[in-house]
Every structure is written in C-alpha cells, then in structure tokens.
Amino acid sequence: MDMHELKPEAVSHLTYKYSKVVCEHEGKSFDFLCISFDGIYGGTASVKDDTAFMEGIIAQAVYIWPTECLVIDLARLEYEWGNSIVRMLNPVETFLQDGIMSCVIVTPAVGKKAFGDMMRASEYRSIPLADSIEQVVAQFARP
C-alpha cells in the first residue's frame, strides 16, 4: 500500500489569505469575510487546476466562517483569459440564490477589462465588481 499526504497547495501556484474585515460607520457595525488570491491565473498550473483550487478554497471558507457578505479579492491576481474562473463561485451559488449571502469581487489589476467582460457575460453577472477593498467598505458604509 502506498499512502501519501495531499495538499491543496500542490494543485496550484496561487496563494490565498482569509481575512475578516470589521467596520463601523455611524454607530453601526458590519463585517465581511474576504478571500484574497495572489499569483498568475493559469500561469504554471492549468486553468482547470487554478479554478478547482480557488473553488475549494472558497468552499472551505464559507463553510468554516459563515458570513452575510463575501468579498473575493482578485486585485493581486493576474488574469488574462479563461472563462472557467467563474466556477470559483459554485460554492456560494446556493447562498446567493437564497439571499443568505451577498458577494462582491475585487477585480484583478492585470486583466481587469477581460475579467469584467467575462463576468458580465456569465450567469453571475449580478455580482458587483469593485476596484478595491476600500471601495467595498465605502459601499457598505452607505446609509
């Protein structure tokens, strides 16, 4: 028998970070779960592997830390092509449809136009796109 440990990081060269952002505005407190990805999408791994990796990381986060708002921060991700990246949203689809969770995507600095065009043509076109975490916070702080 041959048994060896499997690590998600072996599937993709992308890195990620989970954060909880807590803000207060005019006496009201709100928070959201932020998942940040860094690297070149489809760089050294296949697009399929990067998408599966992102999908798994997002699924893990929303089940461990339930949230009313998820921010997927792709600002440090280099994106050039690949429509399969929308599959990263599969783990949150039911939450979105049931109104349990909202989602905002901070678009990649590299590949912003291509990513925006692809998202607007996808089944997830209703998910708002932002340029930065600060823009997301400002949006939530509105009365």
DSSP of 77-100 = EE----GGGGGGGGGGHHHHHTTS
pLDDT (tens digit, 9 = 90+) per residue, 42-94? Answer: 876 687 889 999 999 999 999 999 888 899 999 999 887 778 888 889 888 88
Is pLDDT of 38 > 90?
Answer: yes
Find the mean pLDDT for residues 114-132.
85
Is pLDDT of 141 > 70?
Answer: no
Distance of alpha carbon 72 from alpha carbon 7, whole angstroms: 22
Local confidence band at 34 (pLDDT 50, 70, 90 cut-offs): very high
pLDDT (tens digit, 9 = 90+) per residue, 8-28? Answer: 788 888 999 999 988 877 777
Q: What's the mean per-residue pLDDT of the chain?
A: 85
How far out from the chain centre does Cα 127 lie? 11
Return left, alpha or beta for 34; rule: phi > 0 is left, psi -120 to 50 is alpha, else beta.
beta
CB 86 within 8 A of CB 54: no
CATH number of 11-141: 3.30.750.24
Find the mean pLDDT for residues 115-131.
85
pTM to 2 decimal places: 0.87
Q: What is the strand order of the sheet 28-40 is part of?
A: 15-25, 28-40, 69-78, 102-106, 129-130
